[in-house]
Every structure is written in C-alpha cells, then in structure tokens.
A and B are shown apart, each in its own frame.
Chain A
Amino acid sequence: MLTIREEIVESKVPSQPEAAPAQRTSTLPPDFTQWFHEHRDPVFRYVRFRVATREVAEDVTSEVFMKALRSLHRYDANRASPRTWLLRIARNAVTDHLRALKRRGSLHVSLDRVPDLVSNAQSQEERVLKEERIQVLLNGARQLRKADQEILSLRYGSGFDNAEIAEALDVSPNAVAVRLHRALKRLKDVINADDFR
C-alpha cells in the first residue's frame, strides 16, 4: 500500500516547486504564509475527496484559506495545531458546500468529472476500469454519514495516519482505528448494495 503510493508520487506528479516562502515578499502575516505552504495540500486533498469536481475543490479550498485569514485573530495555539485548525475550517466549508448542494441537486460524481482522480493503472484500459471504480467508491462514500466521510477523506484524501487523524478530530488513535474500520465496513455495504441495483 505504502509502496504503491510512493510510486504514484514519483511517477505521476510533475514536480513543480512553488516559490520558496523566504523569497516571497508576502504581505500576509508570516505565520499564515507558512501555514499556507505547509497545509494547503492536505486541505485540498481532503476537500477533493469529499466534493464532486476539482473546480469545486479549488473553490472550497480557497474559501478555507480566506476564512482562515479573516479569523486569524481567533486562532489559539493552545487549542489546536494550525493543521487541525485549518482542517476544522475545511470540514465546515465542505459541510456548507454540501448543504448548499443538497438544496440544488445531486451529490453524485459522474465519470467525466473525475479526470483529476487517478489510479496507478498501467494500461489505458486498466485506467478506465479503475476510474470507474473510483467513481463507485466515491459515490458510495457520499452516502455514508458525515463522520464516516470525514474520516475516509482524512485517511485516503489527505493521506493521514491514525495519529494525525486523531489529532484532527480530537479523538484517540484507537477510536480512529475503530471508526475507520466501521466506516470501511459501511462503505463496503453501501457499494455491495449499489452493485445489486
């Protein structure tokens, strides 16, 4: 599992480092700039795992950092690490987005909307099959309760380990393992049920 992921990172990601923070003449508060560079990725991936398209994920991620910037004065280092804080904002932002969506239309993801979600497929055909599977997985995940979606997104979107998820959710790592296990089980049930439709 781990190895495959490492391969993805090396083989599929065009490495394009952004301008180093030190070289920027940012007018943003220095801490914020640093947080942005450190945590933008996991935040984006978390969001992306829960919303339908990359465009929406970008919008929601932008909203997350806008909100963070505006409420920087409310951040309290004694209560949460910057990452936990940003993820909390992200979770709320996703919830807001889904709530708005719920009023407007479908939560489902169609295949033509997932070009940014890729799998470690070797051939084009395999890739198509896997992308179909991704669609099934994510649509299944959308039917789970919010807590399950969150934990799956932190795990498979942001790529956190149990300890990191535990910190983000303010629960024990043990509880994370249990919840993750349950979430997977429920996801499996949902997918199986869908397969029969």
Chain B
Amino acid sequence: MTNKMNDNDDTFDLPPELAELDRQLSAISIEQRCSFGPELLAELERVDREEPPLRKSNARRHLIAAGIGALLLASISQPARASLARLIPWFGDEPEAALASIETPVFPPMPQPELLPEELNGTPDLEVSLDDVIEAPLPLQPTAVGAAGRNDDNQPPTFDRGAARAAILARYPRALMVAGVGGTVDLRFWVTLDGSVDNVQVTRGSGQRALDVAAMSVAQTLRFTAARRNGVPVGSWVDFPVVFEAADGPPLAEPTPIDDVPVPGDLLLPLPADLILGSYLTPPPTLFEAQQLLRSSLGQEAEFGGRWSGQLEALLIAEPPAGELPNSWRREAAVALERAMAEHPFNPAPVLALARIRRSQGMRSEARRLFEAGIDRAELDDDISGNMRAELRYELGMVIQEEWRAFASLGRLPRAALSDAICAAAPGSVESGSFAAVGDLLSLNMACPEELGRALAVGFEELPAELGHSRNDMLRAFQLAIEAQPTHGRANVELLLDLADQRRWGVLLDRSQAFVWETQGNPHGLLMTGLALERLGRVEQAAQRFEVAMKVLEDDEVEALRDISMLLTDDRAELFGSLSASEQEDAVRGFFRTLDPILTTGVNERAIEHIARASYALLRFGSTDVDPARIWIRYGRPNAIRTFGEGGETRTEFWDYGVGPDLTFRRAAASRHMDLTEESATYSADLLVQFPHFYNGPALRQALVLPGQVSRFRVTKGSVELEITTEVPTDLATGGTDELELSIFLLDARGNKLSATRSKVSAIEQTIRVRIMAQPAAKQVVVELYNPTISAAASLREPVPLGADLGGPSISDLFILDPADPGEDDVRRTAAWVQPNIGLVPESGELGVLFELYEMPATEDFALRVFLVGEDGTSQAVEFQPAGETEYRVTWRRSANGAYRISEYITVNLERFPSGSYTLAVRALHSGDIGEIESSRPVRIR
C-alpha cells in the first residue's frame, strides 16, 4: 500500500524554493506489510470478544438540584408486551406527574439466532450487531413473554424509576430548560450482568448537542436489574429514549440571547456549605510550577550567580525588577528566553515568559503566536498541570481580546447623516469628506446633542471587525482554558462578563452558579450570580449573594463595591473619603435609605443595584475608580456605545444615555483603560449636580407610580391627619387569590421610617381609602402597594407638612370627592356621603371638593372663589355650588363665627373647559390683614 494524493487536490501555490520541498515530500511513499491489515482486524476481534465492555464512571458533579424533565421510553417496532407491565411494577399504576413522567422501557426483541442475519439486514439503523452482545444466550421462546403470562425465568432488565427521574432532572441543562428547549434523545446501551450501563450510543440525537450529552450522562447513572434468561442473568441491549420536556417555555426557543428571562425560584442553587466559613477553592498557583520549569530551561543562568538568578518571577510576569532598565532588561530577557526555547523544545515556561514580554512590548501578534506555541508544548507533556495549560490559554484569550476590543462597536457616520444636525450653536468648521471627523462629532455632541443623537441613531455604520471571528476565538480560548482547569477564575469571569454584555441573565445565572459550585464559592462568580439575580428582579437573593461574596473578597474589592463617592459631588465625596470605615458604612446606608424605591421589601433595591453595577464595573474595568466605571456605576449601562476610530490607534467612545450629550471617552485601540474626554469631564461634573444617579429598576421589580390623592388636614396645632385615596393599578391586579401588601410609611427628613402601617388587600381593581394621623416629625408619607406574586410595587410619595399646620388662619388640602348633595350642616370629612376619588374629573365635568379652614378671624366675613389655572398660567374663575344650595355662583361669602375649624363643601362644574391638565384653586379672600389664602390641586380634564 502506498499513499495516494487526492485527485481533487486544491491549488496549492508555493514559492519555488518551497515547491521543490513539496515535491520531494510528495514523492515519499509508504509501504505497508500486506498482512498488517488482516492481522490487526483479527486482533481487534479477539480483544472485542475477550474484554468485557469497559466500565466507565461519570464523575460529573451533581450540580443541579432541581429541574423539570421527563423520561419517556418510546416503543420500537415491536409492540409492548403485556408481561412487561407486571415485571415492572410501577408501569401504568401511578398518575402521571404534572411535568415529569417515566414510562416503561420497551426492549428490542430478543432475537432468535437463526433469524438474526435477515433481521439485521432489514434494520439498517441498528448500529450494533445484536449477536455481539447477547453472550452465550439461550434463545428466548416467544411464549416466555407472551400474553399467556409471566415467566419468572425470563425477564427484561428493570430499573429504579425514582433514580432515573432524579438523574434526568439533575442533568437537564438549565439554560435550555429555562429557554424552554426540550427534545428526545434515543439511546441504546448495554446493560451488563451487574446491572450497570455501558456502551451508551445516541441512535438519534435531539438536535441539541447539550441535550444529547445530558441524556448520555443520565444513562451512565442508571442502575438496572440485569435481564434473566432461563433464570440466568444475561447482558442485554436496551433502547432508551430520554425525553427532556421543557416547562411552560416556547416549544423550541430561539437560541438567541434571552434578556430578563424569569427563572423559577426553586432553580436557585444553595450556596456551598464551606463558603460560609469564608473559604473557597482556588486553583493551585502556577507561579511555582512555572518557575521550576523556567529554571530548568535557563540552566546555569538561573542558578545562583547566573544572570537570571532570583529573577524568575520577574521573567514570568514580564516586569523588570527594580534597578533594571526596563527596555534593555526586556531585550536581554527575550534573548535568553529564545535560547531556552530552542534548547528545550518541550518546555512551555520560557515560551510563556517570552510571550508575556512580547505582549508588554505591544507585539500582540508575536505574543499570540508564542502563546499558541506554549500551548502546543504544554499539551505534549503529561507532567504539565491543567492550571498551567489553562493559564496559557487564558493569556491567549486575553491577547485575542485586545485585538477584538480594537474593533468592537467601531463604526463611522456618513457626513450626509449629519445634514440635519448642524445646529446654530455648532462650530462652523465642519470639514469636508465622506465621513464625519471625530472632532466635529465631539463639538456637535455638546452643541446640539439631540440632533447628533438622531443622526447617530439612524446613520451610524458599524464597521465589520477586520479580525473576523475574533470574539469567537477569544471565547473559545477562554472555554479551552476552563476545560483544562475548570476552576480557572479569570477565564470563567471573562466568559461570564461576555454573557452579561449580551444581557443573557438567565444563562449568566446558570453559568455563574455552576462556576461558584465548581470552585466552592469563587467570590467573583458570586458577584456575577448576584448581578444576574438583580437584573432578573430577584433582589433579595441578589443581596444575599453579594453579602456572601463580600465575606470572601479582598478588602479593597469590598471597599470598591461599597464606595459611593462616584454618586457624590466633589466636596461630599471628599467628606465621605475622610470618614472611618464604620462611618462610611452608616453614610452609605443613610444615603441609600432616602432612595429606597420600595420600602415594603426587606431590601433596598437601589443599594443592591449599586452593588450590581459596581460588581460589573470592577470586573469589567478592573477598578471602580476609573472614569468608565464611575460613569457606569452612576448611570448604569448606556443605551448604546458607538466608537469612532481616529488616526492610528486612538478610539473615541460615545456612551448614549438617551438624554443630553453622550458621555465620551478616549482610549488606545486595544486598551481597557480609557478616560473621559475633557468636554465630558466638565459636563459629567455638571450632570452630577443635576442627576446624581439614575435608578432604572430591574425589569421584574418596577416601582410604578400609584395614582391617588393624599389630602392633609390640620387636627391640632402641629399635627396633621392624612386622607389617602388610591386605586389598585391594573398592573398589580393579578386576581382575587393574590394579596397585595398595602403599606403606609411616615418618614422623617432623612428618610428614616417613623411609622409603618401594613395591611393586606385583594389584588383586584378597587379603591382604597385610609385615614391616618401624622406626628409632627413626619416629613413625608409613602403609600405603597406591593404584589409579591409578581414582585412589583406602586407607590405614592407626598410631603406631610401642611403650610398651615403651625397655627394661624389657613386652609387644608382640597379633598376631591364624587359630586354629592349634603346638607349645609352635614359637611364633615367623616360623613357617610363622602366618597373620595383619586383626583380624576368625571365625564360630567362635576367634582365635589371638601376643604377645611382654620382659625379664620371671627370678626369679619370672607369670600370664597374658585379658579382653574391652565398650564400656560392663565387663570379663569369657575362657577361652583355650595353645600345646601341649588344655584351656581362665582363668589360665596362666609363667616367663621369664632370656630377653630370650618368644613366647606362645594361642587364645581368644569364641563366647559377643554381637556388638559389644570390646577384647581380655592381662594379665601379676606378684607383684613390675612389677605388671601389658597389651596390647590392638579386636575386632569378628559
């Protein structure tokens, strides 16, 4: 036998000096001994007969504690036989579980030997010859399992249903489960004499590789009672379709990114037990191993007195030791390492060190090539640890990431798209050319941001990355690093960050939890779990993850996550920085307390969002104290990032936050490090005063605005009674079986809770009316409706102090009611006819208004008048009908007669006003010193 070139060989153009070499190599032919093939085949057959199938163990960690799945065993061509139902006791006698079921397996017919060849020929889809696997079988008589009944001597294999169910639940890939992806995997395997499973084959895949793999791992865990033939245990083949049945998800979800996928609560893994003790698994350090390898490759030079003695670590981290001239040190090191590489062709350490030096010199291509060479060397040697291999692959991934970053979100803006954006304030020197210059864009960004924003939204052309699939290459490198060392922290974190960038929160949760388990608690993995949970609206669980992570993180990392200086103006930030750690902690708590969007929940959503943002920024930007991290933490993820290239290596990033100018950064093409441009630094300082920070609650836990009115009435000097009327918003009304938590909080000036009133109401659309007393210290009232079923809340915040609560002639808030017709003597807030509404003007245009006047002078009359003030400030008198009267009027003369409090009711008619937003004002005009007192309330006419 010789080698033979393929006739359809592709063109292979080689320069002449290589073409000759190619010719010589092609001319080599390889002869085989003619008998080698038949000899080998015979040997293989002998081994196959003599060796029992190998036992394989699947040591995969049992990660997933719960899941939804089903194991179904489909029938093959033979109908299920009645005897099977009795041999497998559970068959058919248990109700199907709602989401999971396991039916009886149906086994391939046990063939009669004389029929076998024909049967096999007729079933080409059988991958394995059945007579291979039935060892010394006695033919099974058809009657043995026929309808006549049970034959205890002949039994198919049986298995434990509960264990199978648990196995499939545990192994259903959660990302697919969450995405609603299911499928059937047809397996065939050999059940050995001892009941274990071997030789698992996928006879028909599900189309989802992950499901196929999961099904095979399920099979590995199954334990059977071996089949029996004439009472003797025998091995047998079993066809075993595994059905992964997705929960309520779409039948076959798109494999596209899933944003804000709700993950059922029971899928949250418990935390590793040891984690509470503050320890987690760290990979063994590579430095020691790498130093040993490097020492052996450098030989005497690394020994005492040699050039590199005591500098092995410096070589490995590519950092010249103190006292060395960096450039010449690197040059010298490179020469030595190249020599070591040549002399030790299997040693990866000098390659790793040289690659890092090349990278630090900015020679990325060379570094990349070297890392690849290092990987080759490491793969060749069994003695090289997985961690060392992972490190090489991770480094390769980082080099690729640098290349990729240079092109990520890079684009350009055709000048034509700017034609509408040339605003009056824009500088005149817009250069000619097809595409806008970065300088012009920076000017326009400050001069007319709205116009530029529109132009960018429509006209920005993203440039294809020149390096093609380098993001995939990068991810692949990290993936391979993890395969080499599953606990490799930084490689895992890079993959998790990529998921976060794609907002695949469900998958991020899944992967980060798996990583945390693999490492028994890597704190960066916990931060990513927390981030995913927070974005999924599961803030309590996120808070718990963050809290645990902080126990394990380094002190400076904890400090970075707790730092709020980026949310403060410079002087306050300075003050904050001067506080002790415990004072800072108090300050942080106090700062977020006033911002807590949902007081009912036991967690401060705003504070947790801060930690989530800080976690991302810390891991993505390497620090929370750099410009992009500070902006990210303050304002969250930008709506869009657009990058413009400039000259050789500089990039300008435009972060679009929807309103105002984009925040712009400069960076070197591949660098993670970037700074705000000068314009943006100034603007961001101004912005901080205007909008210290944005809060954009997680999608699943919105704090909605609660419609309603809070009317304040003076009870005695200094104390106020609140009439609160609200309606359950449609978004929270999930049905009568759900309950809403109704909470009313009174807060002091610093946001501390002075009192909280809680009750439960049905989650149906209804009006809620509450009357409470507010103590003098109360400065703010918060009315909150929280639906725990959907984790959503709506709240209403109003100031408590009534301008008039300190004494003297004054007027209460206007209490808007459904129109009524009370007698003059029956005007009281507590009367039965009082039906408050939430402040809407009904179709009829008629509104009831109740208010109170306090300490009006006893000696003189006063006049009441009503006005409607439009949005433009124009004020028109409104006719009204006082209680007990039948006529409408514009002025009503009243007398206090020395009473401390007078209650008044009027009906106003707003029918003649066009729809729009107005302010309804009631004025008490007094001829004496008091002059005019007024109370008003916004109304909306439909």
A73 touches B27 (CB 8 A): no
Taking a contact as CB atoms closer than 8 A, the residue among B41, B129, B209 that contacts A30 in the complex is B129
Q: Which 5 A-B pairs have the closest CB atoms?
A: A159-B3, A156-B25, A73-B199, A5-B5, A161-B6
Task: State whether A73 and B198 are in contact (beta carbons under 8 Å apart), knowing that A2-B5, A49-B30 are contacts in the complex.
Answer: yes
B132 touches A162 (CB 8 A): no
Taking a contact as CB atoms closer than 8 A, the residue among B36, B131, B379 that contacts A146 in the complex is B379
Please, which residues of chain A bring their CB within 8 A of the CB of B21?
137, 184, 187-188, 191
Closest Cβ of chain A: how far from B378's Cβ, in Å?
Answer: 11
Chain A 1-29 interface mask (CB, 8 Å, partner B; 1/0): 11011101100111010110000001111
Please give 15 more A-B residue pairs, beta carbons under 8 A apart, in addition to A13-B2, A98-B380, A163-B10.
Answer: A5-B29, A8-B27, A13-B31, A30-B129, A31-B128, A58-B33, A72-B201, A118-B29, A119-B28, A146-B376, A156-B26, A156-B28, A161-B10, A181-B18, A188-B17
In the bound complex, how far is the Cα of B441 from the Cα of A69, in angstroms? 65
Taking a contact as CB atoms closer than 8 A, the residue among A2, A8, A155 that contacts B29 in the complex is A8
A41 touches B18 (CB 8 A): no
In the bound complex, how far is the Cα of B201 from the Cα of A73, in angstroms? 5
B43-51, B171-179, B313-321 - interface stretch: B43-51
Taking a contact as CB atoms closer than 8 A, the residue among A2, A9, A62, A77 that contacts B2 in the complex is A9
A99 touches B380 (CB 8 A): yes
Query: Which B residues from 28 to 61 make CB contacts under 8 A with A?
Result: 28-34, 36-38, 40-41, 43-45, 47-49, 51, 53-54, 56
8 A-B contacts (beta carbon < 8 Å):
A5-B29, A28-B45, A73-B198, A98-B380, A99-B380, A117-B29, A118-B28, A152-B25
B31 touches A119 (CB 8 A): no
B18 touches A143 (CB 8 A): no
Closest Cβ of chain A: how far from B347's Cβ, in Å?
Answer: 11
A19 touches B7 (CB 8 A): no
Chain A 129-164 interface mask (CB, 8 Å, partner B; 1/0): 010011001000001011100001001111111111
Query: Which A residues from 149 to 186 make CB contacts under 8 A with B?
Result: 152, 155-164, 173, 177, 180-181, 184-185
In the bound complex, how far is the Cα of B412 from the Cα of A154, in angstroms? 45
B44 touches A5 (CB 8 A): no
B845 at the interface (CB under 8 A from A): no
Task: State whether A120 and B27 are in contact (beta carbons under 8 Å apart), knowing that A58-B36, A159-B6 are contacts in the complex.
Answer: yes
Q: By CB atoms of chain B within 10 A, which of A8, A14, A41, A102 has the most?
A: A8
A99 touches B34 (CB 8 A): no
Please, which residues of chain B bring their CB within 8 A of the CB of A48?
30
A61 touches B127 (CB 8 A): no
In the bound complex, how far is the Cα of B129 from the Cα of A160, in angstroms? 32
A130 touches B49 (CB 8 A): no
Closest Cβ of chain A: how far from B342's Cβ, in Å?
Answer: 10
B18 touches A188 (CB 8 A): yes
Closest Cβ of chain A: how far from B13's Cβ, in Å?
Answer: 9
Please, which residues of chain A bring their CB within 8 A of the CB of B45?
26-28
| SS class, residues of chain A in contact with chain B | helix
Taking a contact as CB atoms closer than 8 A, the residue among A72, A102, A134, A184 that contacts B22 in the complex is A184
Task: State whether A2 and B1 are in contact (beta carbons under 8 Å apart), knowing that A76-B202, A119-B28 are contacts in the complex.
Answer: no
A117 touches B30 (CB 8 A): yes
Please, which residues of chain B bring their CB within 8 A of the CB of A66?
44, 47
Chain A positions within 8 Å of B, measured between CB atoms, are 1-2, 4-6, 8-9, 12-14, 16, 18-19, 26-31, 33, 36, 40-41, 44-45, 48-49, 54, 58, 61-62, 65-66, 69-70, 72-73, 75-79, 95, 98-99, 102, 116-120, 130, 133-134, 137, 143, 145-147, 152, 155-164, 173, 177, 180-181, 184-185, 187-188, 191
In the bound complex, how far is the Cα of B202 from the Cα of A77, in angstroms? 9
B205 touches A102 (CB 8 A): no
Taking a contact as CB atoms closer than 8 A, the residue among B31, B38, B40, B381 that contacts A65 in the complex is B40
Closest Cβ of chain B: how far from A181's Cβ, in Å?
Answer: 7
B24 at the interface (CB under 8 A from A): yes
In the bound complex, how far is the Cα of B160 from the Cα of A163, in angstroms? 48
The residue on B at minimum CB distance from A144 is B345
The residue on B at minimum CB distance from A163 is B10
In the bound complex, how far is the Cα of B377 from the Cα of A29, in angstroms? 37
B47 touches A69 (CB 8 A): yes
In the bound complex, how far is the Cα of B21 from the Cα of A18, in angstroms? 34
B12 touches A137 (CB 8 A): no
Taking a contact as CB atoms closer than 8 A, the residue among A62, A76, A164, A181 that contacts B6 in the complex is A164
B27 touches A4 (CB 8 A): yes
Please, which residues of chain B bring their CB within 8 A of the CB of A54?
31-33
Interface size class of B (residues with CB under 8 A): 35 or more
Chain B 860-896 interface mask (CB, 8 Å, partner A; 1/0): 0000000000000000000000000000000000000
Please, which residues of chain A bring their CB within 8 A of the CB of B118?
none
| SS class, residues of chain B in contact with chain A | mixed
A36 touches B376 (CB 8 A): no
Please, which residues of chain A bring their CB within 8 A of the CB of B277?
none
Please, which residues of chain B bring their CB within 8 A of the CB of A133?
24
Chain B positions within 8 Å of A, measured between CB atoms, are 1-10, 12, 14, 17-18, 21-34, 36-38, 40-41, 43-45, 47-49, 51, 53-54, 56, 127-129, 131-132, 189, 198-202, 205, 209, 212, 345-346, 372-373, 376-377, 379-382
A147 touches B5 (CB 8 A): no
A36 touches B24 (CB 8 A): no
Task: State whether A29 and B3 are in contact (beta carbons under 8 Å apart), knowing that A65-B44, A102-B346 are contacts in the complex.
Answer: no
In the bound complex, how far is the Cα of B8 from the Cα of A65, in angstroms? 28
Task: State whether A40 and B40 are in contact (beta carbons under 8 Å apart), knowing that A16-B34, A29-B132, A120-B29 are contacts in the complex.
Answer: yes
Task: State whether A119 and B27 are in contact (beta carbons under 8 Å apart), knowing that A2-B9, A184-B14 are contacts in the complex.
Answer: yes
B127 touches A31 (CB 8 A): yes
Taking a contact as CB atoms closer than 8 A, the residue among B54, B205, B382 that contacts A70 in the complex is B54
Q: By CB atoms of chain A within 10 A, which of B23, B44, B49 has the most?
A: B44
Please, which residues of chain A bring their CB within 8 A of the CB of B3?
5, 41, 45, 156-159
A72 touches B199 (CB 8 A): yes
Closest Cβ of chain A: how far from B16's Cβ, in Å?
Answer: 11
Task: State whether A76 and B212 are in contact (beta carbons under 8 Å apart), knowing that A99-B380, A159-B6, A161-B9 are contacts in the complex.
Answer: yes
In the bound complex, how far is the Cα of B493 from the Cα of A119, in angstroms? 54
Q: By CB atoms of chain A within 10 A, which of B26, B43, B189, B379 has the most?
A: B26
Task: State whether A161 and B8 are in contact (beta carbons under 8 Å apart), knowing that A28-B48, A65-B44 are contacts in the complex.
Answer: yes
Closest Cβ of chain B: how far from A86's Cβ, in Å?
Answer: 13
Please, which residues of chain A bring their CB within 8 A of the CB of B1?
13, 41, 44
Please, which residues of chain A bring their CB within 8 A of the CB of B373?
145
In the bound complex, how far is the Cα of B9 from the Cα of A49, in angstroms? 20
Please, which residues of chain A bring their CB within 8 A of the CB of B380?
95, 98-99, 146
A45 touches B18 (CB 8 A): no
A118 touches B26 (CB 8 A): no
Please, which residues of chain B bring their CB within 8 A of the CB of A58?
33, 36, 40
Please, which residues of chain A bring their CB within 8 A of the CB of B24?
133, 137
B10 touches A173 (CB 8 A): yes
B4 touches A5 (CB 8 A): yes
In the bound complex, how far is the Cα of B27 from the Cα of A133, in angstroms? 11
In the bound complex, how far is the Cα of B3 from the Cα of A117, in angstroms? 11
Please, which residues of chain B bring their CB within 8 A of the CB of A14?
34
Please, which residues of chain A bring their CB within 8 A of the CB of B49?
27
In the bound complex, how far is the Cα of B213 from the Cα of A79, in angstroms? 11
Taking a contact as CB atoms closer than 8 A, the residue among B7, B17, B48, B346 that contacts A69 in the complex is B48
B18 touches A185 (CB 8 A): yes
Task: State whether A69 and B44 are in contact (beta carbons under 8 Å apart), knowing that A29-B132, A44-B30, A118-B31 are contacts in the complex.
Answer: yes
Task: State whether A99 and B128 are in contact (beta carbons under 8 Å apart), knowing that A72-B199, A78-B212, A184-B14 are contacts in the complex.
Answer: no
Closest Cβ of chain A: how far from B205's Cβ, in Å?
Answer: 6
In the bound complex, how far is the Cα of B26 from the Cα of A44, in angstroms? 16
Closest Cβ of chain A: how far from B15's Cβ, in Å?
Answer: 9
Closest Cβ of chain A: how far from B297's Cβ, in Å?
Answer: 15
Closest Cβ of chain A: how far from B49's Cβ, in Å?
Answer: 6
In the bound complex, how far is the Cα of B3 from the Cα of A119, in angstroms? 11
Please, which residues of chain B bring their CB within 8 A of the CB of A147?
372, 376
Closest Cβ of chain B: how far from A103's Cβ, in Å?
Answer: 10
Taking a contact as CB atoms closer than 8 A, the residue among B18, B189, B205 that contacts A78 in the complex is B205
